[in-house]
Every structure is written in structure tokens, then in C-alpha cells.
Amino acid sequence: MIYKYKCIETFSIPQLDDFEGNETGNDYQIDVGSIWQREKPVQEADTEVVLTKEDGAWIDIHKDLFDLMFNPVSNPPKITNLEGEQ
């Protein structure tokens, strides 16, 4: 199952290179309203949270920052048959 989270305030984090994970000196901006996801729910015991976007972007942030900047997106229940037909 995919768990989705919506950014509630624009913020930036240091951008990391793809090879060694070192800071590049640039910032990566996470925009308000952007939707991020992960395959398991964020737990209270988590210290780091890794989120991805459908375009392949990913971020790895501290749980405290996640708690401040993201809200869960509630997925509406799936309705398989609107008319009652089978």
C-alpha cells in the first residue's frame, strides 16, 4: 500500500549528490501542496523519513521536520460498484 503525504509549507533542504550522498552546496525546494509517498506509514519511533514523488525525486528528512511540514493525505474508500450492479 502507498501512503501519501502533502507538504503544508514550502521549505528547502540541502541537495545531496547521487553517488556519495555529500551535500552539493545547492538547496532542494519542497513546494507547498506537493504530494510525497512511501510504502509504509511513518511511525512515531522513526527518526528519519524517506519520501518519494511520482517523478522519481526523493528526500530523506528528520522525523521532527516531517512532523512540521507534512500531513497525511486521506485516501477515499474505493467504491467498486456505484449503481449496485454486478
Most confident listed range (24-28, 55-59, 71-75): 55-59
CA distance 59 to 13: 9
φ/ψ of 58, rounded to 5, equals -145, 155
Closest CA to 47 of 27, 67, 26: 67
Q: What is the CATH number of domain 3-72?
A: 2.30.30
Q: How confident is the model at residue 77 (pLDDT cuts 50, 70, 90)?
A: low
Whole-number average pLDDT of the chain: 87
Structural domain boundaries in the chain:
3-72
CA distance 66 to 3: 14
